[in-house]
Amino acid sequence: MIAIEGVGKRFSGRDGGAVQALEDVSLTVAPGEFVAVVGASGCGKSTLLRLIAGLVAPSAGRVAIDGAQVTGARTDTAMVFQAPTLLPWADVLKNVTFPMRLMRRAGPGTEDAARALLARAGLAGFEGRLPRELSGGMQQRVAICRALLQQPRILLMDEPFGALDALTREEMSLELLRLWTESPMAVVFVTHSISEAVLLADRVIVMSPRPGRVVDDVAIPLPRPRSFDQEGLPAFQAAARRIRDHIFRGQAARAAA
């Protein structure tokens, strides 16, 4: 469904210098697959998501969805950014329904669906609040609800739980898995947490330090539904160790250079 073929991305700086963020990245994601991406800070994970979302264009190679080259934002793709990016003047319910209204996809059931999602995210009773009246973690949960309400075929998530406290993060991870099982969408999920990647994903893509390349593609053979109890299983630990080894090897190589 998503095909990334030999993609490179080079950014030109204002000072005339250039940054090679990604180099020769190839990767496919099947419909309904949950793929996590891990790698050192600055290795191009967010750039990879923005390329899939059509928010930036590759400098080399090609990104295609269902065989068609991605040339801009698509209505079947939703993205959750590291920061919640809510409309400050709109209440929680209006924020969650905003993209649906913008795309003229809002119908009679949209508000009810939004309220149901907010309730599942622990935000029942906050529908009429403004973003500034919520904590950072609550705002991020609103942003996640906003993406899920669109029932996207492709959900791109850039460290979506980074701003959440550990407990809420665990709850939201399992809730995301439940929602994904109910309406399967392809998910590409960027995280710094190896255990979060293994817990959630069918496959974990490991990237090298900048310029980011794919150094491993680790299948996670754990049964679903997933739970935190699985963290003790040998298959969980073997996958986590394999990913960690790649990341530390990359960091050690960078330190020695």
Shortest gap between Cβ of 141 and ligand ATP (angstroms)?
20
**Residues found near ligand ATP in the complex (CB under 6 A):** 11, 13, 19, 21, 39, 41-47, 210
Residue 46 or residue 173: which is nearer to ligand ATP going by CB? 46
Shortest gap between Cβ of 197 and ligand ATP (angstroms)?
13
Residue 47 or residue 77: which is nearer to ligand ATP going by CB? 47
Residue 100 or residue 164: which is nearer to ligand ATP going by CB? 164
Number of H helices, E strands in the chain: 7, 10
Shortest gap between Cβ of 78 and ligand ATP (angstroms)?
18
C-beta of residue 134 within 8 angstroms of C-beta of residue 92: yes
Handedness of CA 160, 166, 168, 174 (dihedral sign): positive
Residue 210 or residue 226: which is nearer to ligand ATP going by CB? 210
DSSP 3-state of 69: strand
Shortest gap between Cβ of 188 and ligand ATP (angstroms)?
12
C-beta of residue 78 within 8 angstroms of C-beta of residue 156: yes
Residue 44 or residue 152: which is nearer to ligand ATP going by CB? 44
Shortest gap between Cβ of 19 and ligand ATP (angstroms)?
5
Q: What share of the chain is helix, strand, coil (3-state, %, to 5)?
A: 40, 25, 35
Terminus-to-terminus CA distance in the chain, angstroms?
38
Distance of CA 169 to the CA centre of its chain: 14
Helices (H), 41-165: 45-53, 92-102, 110-120, 136-149
Shortest gap between Cβ of 143 and ligand ATP (angstroms)?
16
Residue 118 or residue 188: which is nearer to ligand ATP going by CB? 188
* Cα distance between residue 205 and residue 217, in whole Å: 5
